Every structure is written in structure tokens, then in C-alpha cells.
Structure 1
Amino acid sequence: MFKIVQYGLACMTGVIFLAFNLSTELINSICLVLILLFGIPHGGVDHLIHASTTPDTNVLKYIVKYLLIAGGYILWWLIDPSKALFIFIILSAYHFGQEFIADMRIKGQNVILNLIWGSVILVGPMIFSYQEIAVYLQIIIPNLPDEIGPMTKYTIPIISILLAIGSVFWLRRQKLTAGRIYQIGLFLCVIILSHILLPFIPAFTIYFILFHSTNAFKHQFSWLKEKKDNYHFGKFIIDLLGFSLLAILGILGLIWILKPESQATLVTYFFILTSLITLPHAITLDQFYRFRNTLKIGKAITESSK
């Protein structure tokens, strides 16, 4: 039922963007608001996730470390934006791929597999839509070219898709059910079609909110419910609110201070500020997925030995 709702909302949102002749500025504004309200909060319980996977953890120390990592990253953006952008893309691709592999209940933590699917989700679409997003990237890296050759534009996305399809055949060793393979294929179709039919930002927003964030919410809630007594969805929402509101207000406050002179600058600043919390969030979730996977493997070994 959850997947039906996900794909149904994704299709409905895509149709709305296509059906209404909205300006690019309005579409981008809607997308930023949606990411702010429904995407940013999926990192709101990082401190609880960390505490549940790390014995004798100090939550205050974790929060200070979280903020220091974010602060260090903004210095990197100021000193060397091209390298900071490269790290952000690779880190995000790995993070997106890792969440997808976890959601498909594929055993093990394979860095290459995570990057392959992260490339399908993020790197390939960015290359395919390079001419569109170059407007934003050139604000921080002025010497970037306005466009790339058609060979690069199509070759890299196609290679990433072929690698992803090939990985499904490799994963059949894990005895993936027909239903799971169907879900993987359907997800691949949604990603491809959304970026063919829609501009990059609305297509990415559909993925980020309706797939990545909602899957993360599901994984986090299920985990915390398993680890905490009498834990329920209402408590989960309350736990999310505190740090989510701080993150949202922090991003809005910094944008107000920076005073972007155009919407393109606003979009660029928004994603840079989002990257500041993406780095510590991705580190936390990497630890979470690895820890959860280790527990599952341990349980499987124990059950098989009985």
C-alpha cells in the first residue's frame, strides 16, 4: 500500500507540473518550499538514530560534532567551491543509492552498488540536464562551460542506467523475488521519465520528497519503534519537530542574511545550505544502515545454525 501511494503521488505531481503552464520561477519556488517542509525534516531524528546505534553516546557531544562538520563544510565551499561541489555530488549519490538499496531490502553494504544507483538517481540526471543547472553552478564556479557535448550528455546517463540494470541480474544471487525486481524496474522508469519530461529541479523534488525522504522516515520510525518501548507515530513526529524547525529556520535566516539578488542565486544558496546538513546526516545514516545490516546478518546466521 505504501508503494502504491508513493508512485501514485509521484505520477500525480508530475502530471500537475506538466498540465499547468507555470513559470520556471514559480515551479522552482514551489519545489524549494516542498523540500524545506518535507525533505529537510528527514534528518530531524539523526541524534536519536545515532544514540540507538552507538553505545554510551553523548547526545550533546554528537550535536556539537554535527554542527562542527557543517561549519567546516561551509569553509570548504568558500575556499574551494569546485571541490566542495564534487564532494557534495558524490556524497549525495552514495547516500541516495544506499537508501534505495536498503529500501529494496538488498543484503550487504556494497559501496559500488550504492554509487551505481546513486548515479542513476543524481549524477546521470545532472549530466543530462547540465545546460539547465549550469546557470546555478556558474554562480559559485564562474568558469564552468555553458553546455557539454551531446555525447557526454547521453552517454553517461545511459551507462549508469545499464550498470543499474546489470546490477539487478547480479543481485538475483540474493534470490530477489519477482515483486522486488518489478519495484526496482518501476523506480528506474519513474526516474528516467521524470527527467525526460520535467526540468531537473521538479524532477529531483519528486524523487527527494516522495521516495528518498519518505523511505528514510519509514526506516527511522520502524527502527525507533523496535528500539523504544511504547513508541508511536505521534512521538516520532514530536521527535522530528525540534531539530527540523531549527534547520528550517537556520536555512531561512542565512538566506535572509545573504540576500540573493535573483532566483538563480537563491536556488544555488539553498542547495549549498542544504549540503551543510547533508554531510553529517549522510555520515549518520551510513552508520545506521551498516549497523542495521550487521544485526540482520547476525540474526540470519543465528537462525540458520539452530
Structure 2
Amino acid sequence: MGKTHSKHIFHQVTFGVIALIINLLFPEFIESVRFWFLGIVILIIGMPHGALDHIISYHSFPDKSEKEKKIWFYGYYTLIMAIYALLWIWLPLLSFLIFLAITLYHFGQADAERLNINPTAKKILQYSRGLTIVGLIVYGSEPIYISEVINVITGYDSLELISFVNNYYVVPLSFSLVYPVAYLFAAVFVAEEKLPLVYHADAIVVPALFALADPFFAFAVYFGVWHSFNHAKTMLKYLRKRNLDVTMAWFYKKTLLLSVMSYIGLAILYFITQAFGNEKLLIALLFILISVLTLPHIFIVEMMYRKY
């Protein structure tokens, strides 16, 4: 692994540790600002990192004309979003389970692909990391609140699924251990070379963040500092391999229009739900909106990784 990658992971781990300590010391403050913090993360890096899909798509098919590229991309994106949106209306529980599955795959992929390890070890870390993150989002530090949000979305109580467990804390502990144990196995038996210490720290800090911190704050920290940043860097590297002179400044310039359109949509959604005074409804609708935007994004990203 290059020094640049090591430095990025070191910064991510350091930020994660600081965020966790702040949450443990000032839980009431974090609870009061968690949605503002999540909103800022989505505005600064979350939306922009997904607004580069059209550029990735255009430069993945250099033999096609500009008209063909636009027709293919916008037709594909609109069709996938429309189908998934209708599925949410007809079968919300199935749609929710699909989103959990693709989130597990997508988050794990984005984190594992940056690691300089052999393909078998990378696959083990991809799926185990995704399972730990998704499992702790649902069954983390505030299971009742999250279950209420899921109930608004699907009509199903997620806590019923673990009603047979006498001690609830066994559940988040189990999910917390999935990635560290898989990482230890991969490091000892599968990886072809010794893994850097910063990998070890990363394998502990991410599960600890989701298990111990406020769920929305933990997700905001992970989504911004790990997932979106890693993805943006990978996309820029992909475009550089296609002879584009791209930087983070270029990234924000190119994604500005689509990001602003997304911001306007979020603002409208926020004011509509505020009129009803239902915080959980806002979170549920935001969740569904993000899922509809994420599904076609994941297919574009999968294409990028296969070509990369």
C-alpha cells in the first residue's frame, strides 16, 4: 500500500477516535446536533460523490457518441430509479431488505477496494465489513429509535427479529466482532503479506464507532470521512487513468449543478415533513430518497471497479 493511502487511513482512524471520544463525553450535545451534522456531511461530500456518475459513465464508453452516452446514462438512471420507487410503494419491506443488501455490498466494496491485498482477502473484508456496518446501523446503540423509523418505512418492527435474545447487547457485540474477526482471519491465513498497523486500527475503530456512538452521528462520520471520501478519490483515480486532469477542485465544480438540485429536493422534503411535525417521517422519507438515488449509483460504481 502506498504512503498516501496509509496517510488517508491514518487520518480517518484519528478522526473516528476523536469523534467517538467526543460522543462519549458529550452525548447530549451530540444528540442535539446529530441531524445538522449529518446534513452538513451530505451537503459537503455525500451528494457530490454521487453526482459524478454521469462523468464516470461517459468516460467508460469512449467509442460511443456524446448523444449515445447521454441517452444511455439518463435513460438507465431514470428507469432504475422509477422501478425502485414503485417497488417501495408496492413492497416496502422487500425494498428495505434490498437496500440493506446493496448497502452492505457497496460500503464493504468501497472500503476494501482501497486496500492493497490479494483478491480473496479483499472479498472476505468486503462482505464482513459491510455486514458489521449494516448490522450496527439497525442494531446499534439506539435500537428502539431505529426500529421506530424502520416501522414507519416498512410497517415492520425490526426488534421482533431478535425477540428471542435475552440480553440485547449480545446482538451489537456480535455484529461488532464480525469484521475484526474476519480481518484477523484474513490477516493471518489469507493475506499474502503482512498488513500495516493502520489497517489493524481501522478494523477496530469503525465497529466501535457504530456500536458505541449515536447512530446518526456515527453514520455521518463514517459516510463522510470513510465512504464518500474514499469513493471520490477512487473515481478521480479512475478518470486519471482515462487521461483526464482531475482534482478535488474539478470534482466539486463538475458536481455543483446536480448537487444543488439535490439540495433543493432535500430542502423541499424537509419543509414538507416539518409541516407535519414528524421527525421519524422525515428520516424515513430521506432514507427512501437516498436508496432510490443509490441503486443506479451502485451499478455505475460496479462498472467502474470492473473496468478499473
TM-score (norm 1): 0.83
Instruction: Name stretches of at least 5 consecutive residues in structure 1 with no aligned partner.
Output: 293-306
Superposition deviation, residue 97 in structure 1: 0.8
Superposition deviation, residue 140 in structure 1: 1.9
- The match for 2:14 is 8
Cα distance change on mapping 1:152 and 1:77 into 2, 3 Å: same
Partner Cα separation in structure 2 for residue 125 and residue 233 of structure 1:
29
Partner amino acid, structure 2, of 1:178: L
Let me know the Cα RMSD of the aligned residues.
2.6
Partner amino acid, structure 1, of 2:222: Y
Q: How does 1:240-255 map to 2 (within 5 A)?
A: 240-255=255-270
- The match for 1:43 is 50
Matched, 1:141 2:157: no
- The match for 2:37 is 30
Work out which of the residue numbers 197, 203, 208 in structure 2 matches 1:193: 208
Contact 1:116 1:160 in 2 (8 A): yes
Contact 1:89 1:123 in 2 (8 A): no
Cα deviations by residue, 1:134-161 (Å, 9 ceiling, x for unpaired): 0211112234154632354544543454
Cα distance change on mapping 1:14 and 1:224 into 2, 3 Å: same
Partner Cα separation in structure 1 for residue 253 and residue 92 of structure 2:
36
Partner Cα separation in structure 2 for residue 234 and residue 155 of structure 1:
41
Matched, 1:235 2:250: yes
Contact 1:77 1:84 in 2 (8 A): yes
Partner Cα separation in structure 2 for residue 6 and residue 251 of structure 1:
27
Partner amino acid, structure 2, of 1:85: F
Partner Cα separation in structure 2 for residue 83 and residue 189 of structure 1:
32
Contact 2:240 2:246 in 1 (8 A): yes
Percent sequence identity is 23
Contact 2:42 2:224 in 1 (8 A): yes
Matched, 1:162 2:143: no
Instruction: Name stretches of at least 5 consecutive residues in structure 2 with no aligned partner.
Output: 1-6
Partner amino acid, structure 1, of 2:31: T
Cα distance change on mapping 1:43 and 1:133 into 2, 3 Å: same
TM-score (norm 2): 0.82
Q: How many residues align?
A: 288
Q: 93-102 vs 34-43, which deviates more? A: 34-43
Contact 2:149 2:284 in 1 (8 A): yes
Contact 1:97 1:118 in 2 (8 A): yes
Regions of 4+ moved over 6 Å = none
Contact 1:39 1:208 in 2 (8 A): yes
